[in-house]
Amino acid sequence: MKKYENLDNLLAECETAKTYFSSLPDYVQGAVMKRSSSIFTETELHRVAENAMNDFN
């Protein structure tokens, strides 16, 4: 799996990651953005988003 510099690069260069991120509720997107500097892969994006959703439930 390709590693990116950070979440911004991941979303700019990976269409499936961008689509997934866009499908998330706003509050989850915000939680993910707070961790943007530590997200380097699409797998990490999914893990952080799922953890954020669990934290809010």
How many angstroms separate the CA atoms of 38 and 9, rounded?
12
For the cut 90, the answer to whether the pLDDT of residue 50 exceeds it is: yes
Pull the structure tokens for residue 34.
Answer: 């707070």
Average pLDDT of span 13-35: 97
Band (43; pLDDT cuts 50, 70, 90): very high
HEC letters along 2-37: CCCCCHHHHHHHCHHHHHHHHHCCHHHHHHHHHCHH
For the cut 90, the answer to whether the pLDDT of residue 10 exceeds it is: yes
pLDDT for position 52 = 95
Pull the structure tokens for residue 33.
Answer: 């953005």
Cβ within 8 Å of residue 24, ≥6 positions away: 32, 49
Average pLDDT of span 15-37: 97
Q: What is the pTM of this model?
A: 0.92
